Amino acid sequence: MSDNITIQGSPMEQWKPIIKVENLHKSFGSVEVLKGISTTFYEGETVAIIGASGGGKSTFLRCINRLEQPTKGRILFDGADLADRKTDIAKYRQRIGMVFQHFNVFPHLTCIDNITLAPVLEKKIPKERAQKQAEELLARVGLSDKRDEYPTRLSGGQKQRLAIVRALAMEPEVMLFDEPTSALDPEMVKEVLDVIKSLSESGMTTLIVTHEMGFAREVADRLLFIDEGVICEEGSPKQVLDRPQNERTRQFLSKVL
Amino acid sequence: MIDKIMRILNRYGYVYLQGLWGTIWLSVVTITFATVLGTVIALIKMSKIKPAQWVINIYIEIIRGTPMLLQMYFFWLVLPKYMPFEVSDTQSILVALILNASAYIAEVIRAGIQAVDGGQTEAALSLGLSSRNTFFRVVLPQAVKNILPAMGNEFIVMIKETALASTFFIPELMTSYKTVQSATFLPIPALTIAGVIYLVLTFILTRGIGVLERRLRSNER
């Protein structure tokens, strides 16, 4: 795309837009959860999406790969509108990985089969090559010895690391994390955040809905504060967390910090 | 008692064998067709086609809300009368058995599929799997583990319900009992023999399904 822009705070870098969200609305029945969200995500940036429960941040994330069908608005990704029902979303989902709060690893498949399932079925990668790649991914998150185990034998943190590499096996261009540590025991949070952090540092475009403010401050390039279905405030973590401009942001932060 | 049973078996053993064959045949045909039809019905019920859903719901309500014996009488009376071709008693009873079993199997399958955590579907879709692969490679293999035990119960119920076909003198085990007892006037030994054969039949099926279940489960835990 041609409209490269320069973001304040990182003056030397050129940022290329990768996902453009325009006036996104989502209603469940008569309840409007998203009330017109517009923002642009840039290649290689890490964006933390924060806000109170029920404010619409998870719904927003789930609209991006159309796990929720938006009611109105556009989500532009590589020339396609992902919010459009006519768009073949499966094709684009292969390029946008997602990690869930409750891991959702496949209990009927071994760890290695969890990882190779999608690449073999949908990208037609030969099984052997997919397995080799999966072994490398398992090694990267310290799960090599679990290769042939079923996920029921894994701890929560291990399941989530498996879920992350399962998504990475599709070689996505963007990764969505929907409260990836909220269902974890406290002692397992760090091992998962470390994986996400190294992913973010490797240049992966990362959108993460999180309650971990410390992590957001440390890893995110940009923070979005979503409340009552709109983006109330956005900016660098320093701006949003230390000098919030919006009254609702201040109220929220006073409760969580 | 024992010697009476032995005498009956000596003389009328073949009647029971014919009956056993009839029971197995009725059961296998019913289970086979009902599994296929039940799956189709379950899929329609889970689809988003509203009118089809209504029809299916009414059908399931009728089957569940009326006695099996009444349903057999119904088809036994109606089919020969209104079908353009000849329908035998056995065929009418089979139709009743299959339509009855399909309704129950459909509910078992639907419940088994819906019991799979919705997060599994979302995870599969988020990886870019087609809805077909999502269903057949992720949801169904997990649903089978829910479906199988309940299905085993349905099969056993079905085997026992074929006994109602004796009301219409369709060849099967209870009909064999009736034949033997009217020839020998020894109702209790004759009935005991039929009972033992049913028990052996259902016991084998229960064990078979148990083995299958354990094999599926050993995968996971």
Q: How far is B208 from chain A (nearest CA, A)?
A: 22
pTM attached to this predicted model: 0.83
* pLDDT per residue as tens digits for the range B73-88: 999 999 999 999 999 9
Distance (Å, whole) CA A113 – CA A149: 10
CB proximity B88 to A under 8 Å: no
CB proximity B46 to A under 8 Å: no
**Distance (Å) of CA A37 to CA A3, A33, A59, A63, A75:** 20, 11, 11, 11, 10
State residue A14's pLDDT score.
67
The number of C-beta contacts closer than 8 angstroms across A and B is 73
What average pLDDT does the segment B115-131 reach?
96
State residue A198's pLDDT score.
94
Spell out the per-residue pLDDT of chain A, length 257, in tens: 444 444 444 544 568 999 999 999 999 999 999 999 999 999 999 999 999 988 999 999 999 999 999 999 999 999 999 999 999 999 999 999 999 999 999 999 999 999 999 999 999 999 999 999 999 999 999 999 999 999 999 999 999 999 999 999 999 999 999 999 999 999 999 999 999 999 999 999 999 999 999 999 999 999 999 999 999 999 999 999 999 999 999 999 998 87
**A152, B123: Cβ pair inside 8 Å?**
no
**A170, B127: Cβ pair inside 8 Å?**
yes
**A104, B137: Cβ pair inside 8 Å?**
no
Structural domain boundaries, residue B115: 2-220
Residue A250: how many other CB atoms lie within 10 Å:
12
Q: Average pLDDT over chain B, rounded to whole?
A: 93
CB proximity B57 to A under 8 Å: no
Residues of chain B contacting residue A105, judged by C-beta atoms under 8 Å apart = 123
Residue B145 has pLDDT above 90, yes or no: no
CB proximity B122 to A under 8 Å: yes
Residues of chain A contacting residue B125, judged by C-beta atoms under 8 Å apart = 67, 90, 93
CB A34 within 8 A of CB A211: no
**Distance (Å) of CA A191 to CA A49, A134, A161:** 20, 19, 8
State residue B220's pLDDT score.
58
> Using a CB cutoff of 8 Å and minimum separation of 24, what contacts does A123-128 make?
A123/A94, A123/A170
Q: How far is B132 from chain A (nearest CA, A)?
A: 11
> Using a CB cutoff of 8 Å and minimum separation of 24, what contacts does A227-232 make?
A227/A51, A227/A52, A227/A55, A227/A56, A227/A252, A228/A35, A228/A55, A228/A56, A229/A32, A229/A33, A229/A34, A229/A35, A229/A36, A229/A37, A229/A55, A229/A56, A230/A35, A230/A36, A230/A37, A231/A37, A231/A38, A231/A39, A232/A51
Q: What share of chain B in percent tops pLDDT 70?
A: 98
CATH number of the domain where residue B197 is located:
1.10.3720.10
Interface test with B, best of A62, A63, A64, A104 (most B CBs within 10 A): A104
**Sequential DSSP letters for B157-181:** HHHHHGGGGGGGT-SSHHHHHHHHH
Distance (Å, whole) CA B36 – CA B57: 18
Query: Of A228, A220, A223, A226, whose CA–CA distance to A243 is shortest?
Result: A223
Residues whose CB is less than 8 angstroms from the CB of residue A120 and which lie 6 or more positions away in sequence, other chains included: A126, A127, A130
Residue A174: how many other CB atoms lie within 10 Å:
20
State residue B213's pLDDT score.
82
State residue A2's pLDDT score.
42
Q: How far is B124 from chain A (nearest CA, A)?
A: 8
Nearest Cα residue in chain A from B118 = A104
User: Mind spelling out the 3-state secondary structure of B60-119?
Assistant: HHHHHHCCHHHHHHHHHHHHHHHCCCCCCHHHHHHHHHHHHHHHHHHHHHHHHHHCCCHH
* Intra-chain end-to-end CA distance of chain B, in Å: 49
Domain count along chain B: 1
* Residue given tokens 């399962």 in the structure block: A166
Residues of chain A contacting residue B122, judged by C-beta atoms under 8 Å apart = 67, 100, 104
* Residue given tokens 């039949």 in the structure block: B201
State residue A6's pLDDT score.
47
CB proximity B130 to A under 8 Å: yes
